[in-house]
Amino acid sequence: QVQLAESGGGLVQAGGSLRLFCEASGYNFRNYDMAWFRQAPGKEREFVAAIRRNGGTSYYDDSVKGRFAISRDNAKQTVSLLMNNLKSEDTAVYYCSAGSAITSTIRRSSAYTTWGQGTQVTVSS
């Protein structure tokens, strides 16, 4: 059974940092691209960052570029999202996802077939 489990969310003050983790099980992790999406109350789920299966290329939404960093460890079957200089607008539930994407679709949620349950990130101003 394919599973993704996020952890590391919490409450942080604006300007602070958090690192989110996602642990994968039940499939060959290194065969899949991985991504983080987020969904704020009353808003649609949006792309945050993605990383190719070999870890060689990463992609970011403009709103987090320069502040967030995605990385993966294929041996440990984990992907993480380091979030620096957090802002109140970063408050959302963050979801880890796995899939196979081409460059033109890597920012689309439809490219990902497996999702975690999400972890809440709250940034207080």
Question: Which pLDDT score is estimated for 72?
Answer: 98
Model confidence over 32-54: pLDDT tens digits?
999 999 999 999 999 999 999 99
- Residue among 14, 1, 12, 2 nearest 120 (CA): 12
Question: Which pLDDT score is estimated for 27?
Answer: 85
Question: Which pLDDT score is estimated for 2?
Answer: 81
Q: Residue 124: is its pLDDT beyond 80? A: yes
Side-chain half-sphere of 122: how many Cα atoms within 13 Å?
5
Residues 51, 29 contacting (CB under 8 angstroms): no
Q: The tokens of 78 are what?
A: 């984990």
Residues 113, 99 contacting (CB under 8 angstroms): yes
For 109, which DSSP code? Answer: G
Q: Residue 1: is its pLDDT beyond 80? A: no
Q: 58-83: buried (b, 16+ CB within 10 Å) or exposed (e) per residue? A: bbbbeebeeebbbebebeebbbbbeb
Model confidence over 56-86: pLDDT tens digits?
999 999 999 999 999 999 999 999 999 999 9
